[in-house]
């Protein structure tokens, strides 16, 4: 479920003035949706991922008009920990300077000044998601964020939704997966709505579609809800978005008001932005000979860092050379310096690291050694990424066929999808999983459905390969390296 502050309540996408959150009138259903600008696109709640800088990065590729159409979710926070522990809150939700840890934020006089999360100048509309199995814990947690967001999201059943609906000052929304049949899904949606949910997000996959069994989302279930629920019901569709064109296709096929993306957005933060006209986009956008393109990874990484410098550290952004393009004049001195500078993990360690890619040991090594908040270390990572991309671009110039893919009728399943959607590795593109039937054939899944390799992820938890609920949070330039995560839950409470 979720809560919201509308543009007319001070939430805006334009940096005009420093508004102070005002008490909100609690609007319901479609009225509430319209009050936040009827967004069409939604950055999904993603544990440890849909944090402030990621939301900003996603928005940064959008034009001012497009930005008015996007709504973002926070990562999911553990309600009990969030409510109980000020330290957790200061680490993961920093709406005011006083709420944020760090030297620069100790100034008493500035403690109420708006800072990052939910800042009406740039981080709204925002829905904050909690997992909880106790309504009182949820309420306690929700009260800390209510002034700085537009809605709070929770996905428990009637009694719990209803308690929040009646007692919370902000609207509640709910996100759930489809049931075994369309009729059951409709029944479930009606129950959620009657409990007081103002918006429903429907993830078109069943509960068991996780890990290697994720497979495809079924949009026809969402269409069924659209056709059978009262027309003013606000529905967000979720599942299967691989690129920008899929957004419109999903809206059309499902009749939903908005479309949410998680993995697609994570893999390509530019997904909600209309791609530039063919041949344009400057140095940040790469075009192949075949007219296919994408935002370059080094450009995206620079933008991500720049958000951290500007908003979090409030430091000048370092001067950067223009991104390399193959038509740039060759600078022999730099070339010589770059080849001398190669570094990597000690030989012994290299052998043990089975994830090491032979073409980027130094990059992986540098990333592993970067601690949260250590910007010089992250700048070094950027230099290595830029260098790798430079060599990729030069290789493409010499041998473009090696990288070109095109739709191929002889291919099926994920191979066909990769042929259609795949791009060279230096640009953002969707993450395409093998279908369950392919996982069976390649041995990742057995006939009984048990996973034979990496453990499949639980509902709405980070995919296999990322950190688990019990493990440490990955370090990012911003998080300063964390010990415990309020965004993680060992409880099996929340679904999408
Ligand atoms: C890394 C990651 C973290 C996620 N965390 C959450 C979460 O905290 N809460 C939630 O409701 N769903 C979570 N999800 C599920 C997504 O919100 C979404 O419902 C699901 O991935 C299907 O959408 P997609 O096909 O666009 O990926 C997560 C998904 C991913 C990939």
- Taking only the tens place, the pLDDT of each residue in 41-82 is 999 999 999 999 999 999 999 999 999 999 999 999 999 999
- Rounded to whole angstroms, what are the CA distances from 81 to 145, 280, 410, 462? 14, 47, 52, 19
110: CA distance to ligand 1 center in Å?
Answer: 36
Query: What structural domains and CATH numbers belong to the chain?
Result: 7-271 (3.20.20.70), 283-421 (no CATH)
The predicted pLDDT at position 118 comes to 96
The predicted pLDDT at position 135 comes to 83
Q: Is the shortest distance between the CB of 460 and ligand 1 below 6 Å?
A: yes
495: CA distance to ligand 1 center in Å?
Answer: 9
- Average pLDDT of the residues in 168-193: 92
The predicted pLDDT at position 346 comes to 52
Q: Is the shortest distance between the CB of 429 and ligand 1 below 6 Å?
A: no
Residues sharing a CB contact under 8 Å with residue 403, sequence separation 6 or more, in sequence order: 288, 396, 424
Instruction: Give the lowest-confidence range in 15-19, 130-134, 249-253.
Output: 15-19
Encode pLDDT of 422-438 as tens digits.
899 999 999 888 888 88
The predicted pLDDT at position 152 comes to 63
Distance CA 215, CA 209 (A): 7
Looking at per-residue confidence, does 172 or 222 come out higher? 222
Please state, for a pLDDT cut of 90, what percent of the chain lies above it: 53
- Average pLDDT of the residues in 398-403: 91
Q: Say if residue 5's pLDDT is above 80.
A: no
Looking at per-residue confidence, does 67 or 345 come out higher? 67
Residue bearing tokens 């026809």? 220
The predicted pLDDT at position 396 comes to 96
Encode pLDDT of 199-231 as tens digits.
999 999 999 998 888 999 999 999 999 999 999
Please state, for a pLDDT cut of 70, what percent of the chain lies above it: 76
Residues sharing a CB contact under 8 Å with residue 38, sequence separation 6 or more, in sequence order: 257
Residue nearest to ligand 1 atom 25, measured at CA: 239
Q: Say if residue 485's pLDDT is above 60.
A: no
The predicted pLDDT at position 460 comes to 40
Looking at per-residue confidence, does 232 or 466 come out higher? 232
Most distant CA pair in the chain: distance in Å? 69
Residue bearing tokens 């041998």? 399
The predicted pLDDT at position 239 comes to 96
Q: What is the tally of helices (H) and strands (E) in the chain?
A: 18, 10
The minimum-distance atom of ligand 1 relative to the CA of 260 is 26
**Contact call for residues 110 and 97 (beta carbons, < 8 A):** yes
Q: Say if residue 91's pLDDT is above 70.
A: yes
Ligand 1, residues 175, 430, 460: which to mutate, most atoms within 8 A of Cβ?
460
376: CA distance to ligand 1 center in Å?
Answer: 32
Instruction: Give the lowest-confidence range in 4-8, 145-149, 450-454.
Output: 4-8
The minimum-distance atom of ligand 1 relative to the CA of 263 is 27
């Amino acid at each position: 479920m979720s809560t919201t502050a509308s543009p007319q309540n001070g939430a805006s996408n334009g940096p005009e003035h420093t508004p102070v959150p005002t008490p909100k009138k609690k609007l319901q259903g479609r009225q509430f949706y319209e009050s936040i600008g009827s967004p069409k696109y939604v950055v999904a709640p993603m544990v440890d991922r849909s944090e402030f800088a990621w939301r900003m990065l996603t928005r940064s590729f959008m034009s001012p008009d497009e930005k008015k159409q996007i709504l973002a979710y926070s990562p999911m926070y553990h309600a009990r920990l969030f409510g109980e522990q000020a330290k957790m809150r200061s680490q993961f939700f920093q709406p005011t300077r006083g709420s944020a840890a760090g030297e620069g934020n100790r100034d008493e006089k500035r403690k109420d000044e708006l800072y990052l999360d939910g800042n009406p100048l740039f981080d709204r509309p925002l829905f904050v998601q909690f997992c909880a199995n106790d309504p009182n814990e949820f309420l306690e947690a929700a009260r800390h964020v209510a002034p700085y967001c537009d809605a709070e999201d929770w996905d428990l059943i009637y009694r719990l939704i209803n308690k929040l609906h009646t007692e919370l000052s902000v609207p509640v929304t709910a996100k759930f997966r489809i049931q075994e049949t369309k009729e059951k899904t409709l029944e479930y949606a009606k129950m959620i709505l009657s409990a007081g949910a103002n918006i429903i997000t429907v993830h078109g996959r069943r509960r068991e579609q996780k890990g290697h069994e994720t497979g495809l989302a079924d949009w026809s279930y969402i269409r069924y809800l659209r056709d059978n629920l009262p027309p003013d019901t606000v529905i967000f569709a979720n599942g299967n978005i691989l690129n920008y064109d899929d957004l419109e296709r999903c809206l059309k096929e499902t009749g939903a008001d908005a479309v949410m993306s998680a993995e697609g957005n994570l893999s390509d933060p530019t997904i909600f932005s209309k791609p530039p006209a063919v041949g344009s986009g400057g140095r940040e956008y790469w075009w192949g000979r075949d007219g296919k393109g994408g935002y370059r990874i080094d450009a995206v990484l620079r933008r991500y860092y720049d958000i951290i410098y500007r908003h979090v550290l409030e430091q000048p952004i370092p001067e950067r050379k223009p991104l390399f393009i193959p038509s740039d004049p060759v600078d022999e001195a730099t070339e010589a310096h770059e080849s001398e500078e190669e570094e990597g993990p000690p030989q012994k360690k290299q052998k043990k690291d089975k994830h090491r890619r032979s073409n980027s040991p130094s990059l992986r090594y540098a990333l592993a050694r970067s601690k949260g908040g250590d910007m010089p270390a992250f700048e070094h990572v950027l230099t290595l990424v830029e260098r790798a991309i430079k060599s990729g671009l030069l290789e493409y110039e010499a041998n473009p066929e090696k990288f070109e893919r095109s739709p191929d009728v002889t291919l099926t399943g994920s191979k066909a999808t990769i042929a259609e959607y795949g791009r060279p590795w230096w640009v953002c593109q969707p993450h395409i999983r093998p279908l369950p039937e392919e996982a069976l054939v390649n041995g990742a899944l057995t006939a009984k459905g048990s996973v034979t390799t990496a453990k499949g992820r639980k509902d709405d938890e980070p995919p296999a390969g990322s950190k688990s609920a019990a493990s440490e949070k990955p370090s990012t330039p911003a998080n300063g390296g964390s010990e415990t995560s309020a965004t993680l839950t060992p409880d099996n409470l929340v679904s999408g």
